[in-house]
Amino acid sequence: MSTTDPYKAAYERERFARKKAEQLLDDKTRTLYDNVVQLQSTVSALEEAQDQLVQSEKMASIGQLAAGVAHEINNPIGFSLSNLTTLSEYIESFIHLDEIVISNISTLADHPLTTQYQAYRKQEDMDFIIGDLKELLGDTIKGLNRVSAIVANLKKVTHAGELEMEFGDINDIIDESIKVVWSELKYKMQVEKQFTEVPLILCHSGEIHQVLMNLFLNASHACEDKGLLIIKTYTKEEKGKNWVVIEVADNGKGMPREVRKKIFDPFFTTKPVGVGTGLGLSVSFGIIEKHKGIIKVTSEESKGTTFTISLPLLSNET
């Protein structure tokens, strides 16, 4: 009868134990890796949720401040515009009076006031003043109207002036918004629409137009020549609620995380001084929030930006 070699048996036991240990280590390493990936995903989701919460709280506090500021600014703007309009009418009367005198001054050639009047007009360069007055008043009124428009946007940030909502087809609203800004897009952007049939949503279509046009124009500004704008619509169910989703994506220069965190702040802008007011996205944030929706942004430098708007269906309220 043969006997088993004790050394060989010990070697086999050791090899088996080592193999089992390696397998166990592989399993634990794989499990650890899966946990790390899941943890990274959870951390990213928590950071995004935190940014959204901070933004909502920030907008609420800014909204209260903006409401008071807008109200206080509205009054002086109102009477300043009114006074300037009246002043323009008064100046027109003086200019008309001067025209009458000049057209009839040849008939008063011997009157001492004629020489004095003509000398004074020349001394003060009245022809230049008359021309400049109209331009000065026009620019001032235009500037005050711009301030008035900024105040109106501040009111929208505060959700002031609730408007009656109606059911609308978001795909139709997107098409109409593209048509309005098409002159800005057609020379530098290729527009790709990826629509699905979605239910009607209860909204104020004019305000949704405003949000979409702002996003389309921002995408255009973020892209060089041959930019690509992709607009998607679809529905989703999340946390027991049904949503209509709009994605507006471009292949532009993108944004770093520091900019993304501030992108919805009033008066924050990456555009040059004098270009825009920095209120477009903050107003958009306020409009979507007023519609009980959510607007988020994802972006990667040199690769592009995607804005995702989720608007609730009426069934969420029932």
pLDDT under 50: residue ranges of the chain = 1-2, 157, 159-161, 273-278, 318
Check residue 163 and give its pLDDT. 58
pLDDT in tens, 175-189: 988 988 888 888 889
Note whether 313 and 201 are within 8 A (CB): yes
Q: Which residues, listed in sequence order, are joined to residue 127 by a DSSP beta bridge?
A: none
Q: Are 299 and 254 in contact (CB under 8 A)?
A: yes
| pLDDT for the residue numbered 51 | 60
pLDDT at 318: 45
Where helices occur in the chain by DSSP H, the ranges are: 6-104, 112-124, 126-157, 170-185, 205-222, 257-260, 280-290
Q: What integer pLDDT is reported at residue 70 of this predicted model?
A: 67
This prediction's pTM? 0.53
pLDDT at 171: 95
pLDDT at 282: 79
Burial of residue 228 (CB within 10 Å: 0-12, 13-18, 19+) is middle
Give the burial class of 293: count Cβ atoms within 10 A of its Cβ; 0-12 exposed, 13-18 middle, 19 or more buried.
Answer: buried
Q: What is the pLDDT of residue 274?
A: 46
What pairing do the DSSP bridges indicate for beta strands 304-312 and 294-300? antiparallel
Task: Give me the pLDDT at residue 164, please.
Answer: 74
> What was the pLDDT predicted at 275?
46
Write down the pLDDT at residue 228: 93
Instruction: Give me the pLDDT at residue 154, please.
Output: 58
